[in-house]
Amino acid sequence: MFNQSQLFAPWLDTERARRAQESNNQRQRRRHKQLQVKLGHGGTLDPMATGVLIVGVGKGTKHLQDFLACTKTYEASVLFGAATDSYDVVGKVLSKAPFDHISRESVEQALTKFRGSFDQMPPLYSALRMDGKHLYDYAREGKDLPREIKARPVKTESLELREWLPAGCHQYTIPEEDAKFDEKLVAKSLLQLGTSSESKDKSTVIGHDPTSPELQQGTKRGRERDDEDEAVDTTRLPSKRQETVAAPFMSGALPERLEVQGEAPTRGLHTAASPHVSFPQASAENLQSSGPPAAKLSMTVTSGFYVRSLCHDLGKEVGSLGIMSELVRTKQAGFELGRNVIEYEDLCKDEDSWGPQVVQLLSDWQSKLDEKVVKLSAISEDPA
């Protein structure tokens, strides 16, 4: 899109002329690289999420690291009564739990535990590294982790219950697909890690044996890096979520009452694509008054926070289970929905729609950089 645009044509012409002056060795190193507008993003979105995604253009990609440590604001929905392998509604159901006792008051009380600073267990499917390797790579390859995943300190600057949704007042539904018997066995083993002092004294088994006949029969899939994974990719924008050949595992813990049930009938995989994705929902005409309640939350969190883990832990805190059913990033650093962002729909239109908006955003960003340089210069010249 940008490569064929009139807006970036002058930049491409300048870059093409500069490369023509390079030495033969430099040109040889680039011979397989197509000249294109350089793009990068400052923190990916969860596969089922929508909202603010900061994109750097050209030299702006060098500033993307500044957005990894900034605060982010989210609006999320949590559905009670079930736990899935991915902590959200696109996963397979591992267990279900009673939910009739959950009320607005009990959720309000439970949220107090997650305000301020606390330790949070990240999901296994994340870009966190262990011994130089991404955690999601261990899971996809079915390999044991070298050691137990540790909870990490996180902070919520604000966390509020925006709306309580009793049964019959929302369209979220628990996924239909159950995890297979062998997948539940593996999940139960993983989820009990770190739940007692005895487990810390024993050798940690995080993966499974991919040669096991039982596990070879199970359906395997993977999970792309998500919004909560602090990583910058300066080569391309995040791609659509793909089905891979790895079985999803979980970190964290389910209640001790988790029981491994018999294998459920095989159903199709739930897949998610960005920016548009279909989630399990009941039709407006067929809302189940006896179904589980849900809650809409708003939060501002620091770097490294996992909203999926919050939904999972909140379910446990109210004596049930919980999965994330919707997620929108409404703000990251100084960029906010409805104020100074370009809508995805506009980017899908012609250049007359998105071109002026890109020019304005780049101009505003350059002005902020200039102001920062002036302030730094003033400070360096201050004799005090």
Give me the active site residues, please: 46
CA distance 73 to 67: 13
Contact between 280 and 176 under an 8 Å Cβ cutoff? The reply is yes
| CA nearest to 218, candidates 256, 251, 177 | 177
DSSP letters of 265-316?
PP-PPP---SS-----B--GGG--TTS--EEEEEEEE-TT--HHHHHHHHHH
CA distance 131 to 64: 25
Burial of 341 (0-12, 13-18, 19+ CB in 10 A): buried
Contact between 177 and 92 under an 8 Å Cβ cutoff? The reply is yes
| CA nearest to 327, candidates 186, 227, 259, 195 | 227
Please work out, in degrees rounded to the nearest 5, the angle formed at the alpha carbon of residue 231 by the alpha carbons of 243 and 323. 55
Please work out, in degrees rounded to the nearest 5, the angle formed at the alpha carbon of residue 149 by the alpha carbons of 147 and 150. 120
Question: CA-CA-CA-CA torsion for 177, 178, 183, 186, nearest 10 degrees?
Answer: 130
| CA nearest to 171, candidates 279, 88, 68 | 279
Three-class secondary structure of residue 80 per DSSP:
strand
Tokens describing residue 142: 């079915």
The residue assigned the tokens 């009452």 is 257
Percentages helix, strand, coil for the chain (3-state, rounded to 5) are 30, 20, 50
Cis peptide, bond prior to residue 356, ω within 30 of zero: no
